[in-house]
Structures are given as C-alpha cells and as structure tokens.
Amino acid sequence: MNDSHSSSSDPASLAATDQNVGRSRRNGNGDQTPATDIPRHWHDIFWLGVFLCHLTGLAFALAVLGLNRFKKSDRFNFDRYTTNITGTVGNSHGLTEDYWPMYGLGGGVGTVLGWAWLLLLGFQADHMMKISVHILTTYLAVVSVLCFWSDHFFWGVTFAIGAALQFLYVISVIDRLPFTMLVLRKAVKMVWSLPEVMRVSYAFMLVMLLWMGLWSFGAAGVVASNINLSGRWWLLVVLSLSLFWTGAVLCNTVHVIVSGMVFLVLIHGGQEAASLPPNSLMKSLRYSVTKSFGSICYGSLFTAAIRTLRWEIRGLRSKIGKNECLLCCVDFLFHLVETLVRFFNKYAYVQIAVHGKSFNRSARDAWELFQSTGVEAIVAYDCSGAVLLMVTLLGGLITGTSSGVWTHIKWDDDRVTMVGSTAMLMGMALVGLAMVVVESAVTSIYICYAEDPLLIHRWDAEFFNKLSEALHQRLQHRSSRAREVLTQNRLNVGMQENAPL
C-alpha cells in the first residue's frame, strides 16, 4: 500500500517541484541573501504618532478613572458632570478595589494559559490543536446555557450564535485540517529550534500584563462608577477597542521579530550556520520597535478584522452549492474582501521584517508574490490562522469565565457581564501573544516557499515534497473548477440561442 501511495504521489510532487525549481532559477544556486542589511527607513510615521498619542492619552484617562473611586467615592467629583450630561445618575457600585482583583485573576489566568499552551505545543502539538478546534464549540454552548440560566438573555443568544457559527465553520473546513495540522507541526518544530524567540514572546506577555494592570485599574473604576448602565457600557467598549489595538500591535511586533529570525534561519540553512549574522534577534527587535513600528501600528488596525471576515466568507462560499442568488451576493463580498486582503494581510509582516518596507507595499508585494507563483492556492487552503484564533478564543473564554464566576459570587447583576466580557478580551490578548509565535513561523515558511522553494527543501525535504504535492493538487482543483464553470456557461448560452422565440 505504501508503494502504491508513493508512486501515485511522486508525479504530483515532481510536477510541483519542477514548477518550484523554475521559480528558483532567478537565484542561481538557490541561495538568496535577504535584504536585512539594506538601509532601513521610517515608514507610516503618522500611524506611529497616532498610536503613541492614543497610548499616552489613554494612560492618563485610565489613571484618572481608577483613582476617582480608589479608596474614596468620587474623589474628583465626576458625578456632577455625568449627571449634567446624562440627566440621571446610577446607583453606587462600590470602589475600584472591589473589581480590580477580578481583573487581576483574569490577567493571571491568561498569562498561565499562554505560557502553558506554548510549552505544551512543543510536546503534543497535534493533540493540543485538535482539542482547541473541537472543544471551543462545546465551551461556547456551555457558556450560553449558563448565561440563560442566570437570566442574561442577550449574552446567552450571543454565545449560542457563536457556537453555531463555530460548528458550521469547522464542518466547512474539516477536509483541510490534515494539511493545516501538517503545517502547524512544522511551524512548531521551527519555533522550538529557536528558544530565543520563545523568550521574546514571554517578555512581551509580561509587557502586556503590565499595561493591563493600568488598563484594568481604569476599567474597574468605570464598573464602580455612578454612571448609568449604558454610559458604563459605552466607556468599556471604547476601552476594549483600545486594548484590542494595543494587543494587536504587541502581537504583530512579535510577529515581525519572529518572522525576521525564521526567515534568516531558512535563508542561511540553519541556526548554527556560520553565515548567520551575529545579534540577529536584537537587530530584528530594534527595527521592530523603531523604524518599522509605524507600519505595525497601521496594519494592526485592520488586518485581524479583515482576515476573520475572509475566513467566514470562504467557509460559507464553499458550502452554498447551486443557489445562484446567494452565491452572487457572497461572491460580491468575497471579491470585496479579496481586494482588501491585497493591501492588509499578515504576510506583510514578513516583508516588513526582511525588507523594511511600508505596510501597504509589503502587503501588496507579498500577495503579488503568492499570485504570480501559485502559492496563493495553498495559502487559501490552509486554516492554520483560524485554528490558532480558536486557541486564542478558548483562552479568552476561560479567562472571562474565571473572572465572571468570581464576580457572580459577589454580585448577581450587570457587573458580571461587564467584568467577564472585558476579562475575556484580556485573556485573548495574552494567549494571542503566545500563539503569534507559531503563526509567524507559518507565514515565514510560505513566503520562503514562494520566493525560493529550495530553502524549504534544504530545511525539511519531506515537508517540501508534501507542500509541493498539496500545491499541485490545489492548482489542479482550481483548473477543473474553472473548466466546469466555462462548460456550464457555454451550455447556458447554447440553450438560450436554441430556445424558440
């Protein structure tokens, strides 16, 4: 059986390999020197300024909001202003220190989950990923039931819809999971061969934890304030959006650092290679937090939302069938999102790390590279980003549940959902900082494979063959679908021409 399998897969691998070698001919012997030593310039400085101003202003606002009700109710007499603005004032909800420990618990749980998950991936990557994919639906459903049981109808419906969407998405991509797990295993292998990038992730998690100490101080002050219910929720939404952006910036900074290191290791043939530049990690870190930081801030605003929307539309599009009206609407959304992806995609961070380009140029160059080489076919087929997002969501849900349950023990009102939902976002940011290390390795592998496939062959020949076979199969699949559409269109035109008037 093994012989027959190898004989059937060899032609596909050889065909894809021939195509890959053709792409590598521009490099001569296959070795390519990355543009890591070219002069670097500052890019997207406007967005760097916006992010730093936002961070400075928010830090001041958070300190004021927290101190206003820290050990003393309404220290700065804010109640008179909120009464004039809203016309009403809510009931007293305690002090900042009543809620700050709940957020402290959330930060601790999120940090432990992130560290533990990153460590366990090195030993049982397959099992950890499969557990995350399948347990998330169950966990969402259980949280939904608990919300209904505690009379939080809105949140019960929200989590029920989330569970249904998660289930439908997993069903729609179930055939892609074996290939996805293969890519993730190799990414984890790469990351574990570079312990210094693991330490970078841990360090940035500590930085995020320190920022969350101030953020949660202000959020606890908002929950404890006398502002009416809708006013407190609006303030928490604004703070949550800020935390999302800050978390995304830190995650993508790690992404750039790790991508630069992985790319260098693949280019030079291993971490022990004599040609590997000294202090590569520190150089990558310095570029990421200085000249490339504006591009990271800019991309972090849009990338996550666009790619999440793209995953959902792709999953829906593959399961529509022959409903032409619905397919037409989804195709419109699909092409709109594909246009946005051309300018906002996670592969831009590899180009930023290696070539020091601006974000939009990096995203466009990465996408054109995938389109011109055909690698976009397996990039679209791969679900590793979605699987890692599921891990992040699961970590956030566990964190939010921990803080929410503690709050529920002390108070059984809207404060439970306020603390639980914001603590969930904290957990997602912390676990996301752990998962982005693996995602960085995945994006770097695809960029290297598109630029020079022999780099992957030199690193892992077996993985190269499987990747080449998958590329060949996906290109054949797309060609057959294009032929089917063309044949169907011709039949439709012929039937219309022969129809009696």
Q: Compute the distance between CA of residue 47 and CA of residue 45 in angstroms, rounded to an integer.
A: 5
Per-residue pLDDT tens digits for 129-180? 778 788 889 999 998 998 888 787 888 899 999 899 889 888 888 888 889 9
The closest alpha carbon to 20, from 379, 453, 457, belongs to 453
pLDDT the model gives residue 4: 38
Q: Compute the distance between CA of residue 90 and CA of residue 187 in angstroms, rounded to an integer.
A: 51
**Is residue 8 pLDDT above 50, yes or no?**
no
Confidence of residue 419 (pLDDT cuts 50, 70, 90): very high
**Is residue 17 pLDDT above 70, yes or no?**
no
461 within a domain of the structure (yes/no) = yes
300 within a domain of the structure (yes/no) = yes
Per-residue pLDDT tens digits for 262-290? 888 888 776 666 667 777 888 888 889 99
User: Under 8 Å CB-to-CB from 407, ≥6 apart: which residues?
Assistant: 99, 102, 415, 416, 419, 420
Q: Which residue has the higher pLDDT, 49 or 479?
A: 49
In eight-state DSSP terms, residue 88 is -
Residue type at 75?
Answer: R
**String of b and e for 133-171 (b: at least 16 CB within 10 Å)?**
beebbebbbebbebbeeeebeebbebbbebbeebbebbe
Q: State the average pLDDT for the chain.
A: 80
In eight-state DSSP terms, residue 277 is P
Print the SS3 string covering 336-380.
Answer: HHHHHHHHCCCCHHHHHHHHCCCHHHHHHHHHHHHHHHCCHHHHH
384 within a domain of the structure (yes/no) = yes
What angle (nearest 5°) sits at the alpha carbon of residue 375, between those of residues 466 and 450? 90
Q: Which residue has the higher pLDDT, 11 or 254?
A: 254
**Is residue 240 pLDDT above 80, yes or no?**
yes
In eight-state DSSP terms, residue 40 is P
Per-residue pLDDT tens digits for 316-362? 565 555 555 666 666 666 666 656 666 667 888 888 888 888 888 88
How many domains would you assign to the chain?
1
Confidence of residue 492 (pLDDT cuts 50, 70, 90): low
* Domain enclosing residue 304, as ranges: 45-71+95-480
pLDDT the model gives residue 268: 79
65 within a domain of the structure (yes/no) = yes
Greatest Cα-to-Cα distance within the chain, rounded to the nearest angstrom: 86
pTM: 0.81
Residue 233: other Cβ atoms inside 10 A: 16
**Is residue 485 pLDDT above 60, yes or no?**
no
**Is residue 51 pLDDT above 90, yes or no?**
yes
**Is residue 11 pLDDT above 50, yes or no?**
no
83 within a domain of the structure (yes/no) = no
Alpha-helical runs (H) found in 69-176? 79-86, 96-149, 153-172
pLDDT the model gives residue 302: 76
333 within a domain of the structure (yes/no) = yes
Q: How far is CA 88 from CA 84, 92, 243, 450, in A?
A: 8, 13, 29, 61
- Range in 30-34, 157-161, 192-196 the model is least confident about: 30-34
Q: Compute the distance between CA of residue 298 and CA of residue 278 in angstroms, rounded to an integer.
A: 30
Structure tokens at 254: 């790690």
Confidence of residue 371 (pLDDT cuts 50, 70, 90): confident
Structure tokens at 484: 């089917």
Phi/psi for 323 (5° steps) reads -75, 95
CB 116 within 8 A of CB 433: no
pLDDT the model gives residue 62: 94
pLDDT the model gives residue 36: 47
23 within a domain of the structure (yes/no) = no
199 within a domain of the structure (yes/no) = yes
User: Under 8 Å CB-to-CB from 41, ≥6 apart: which residues?
Assistant: 291, 356
Per-residue pLDDT tens digits for 115-124? 888 888 777 7
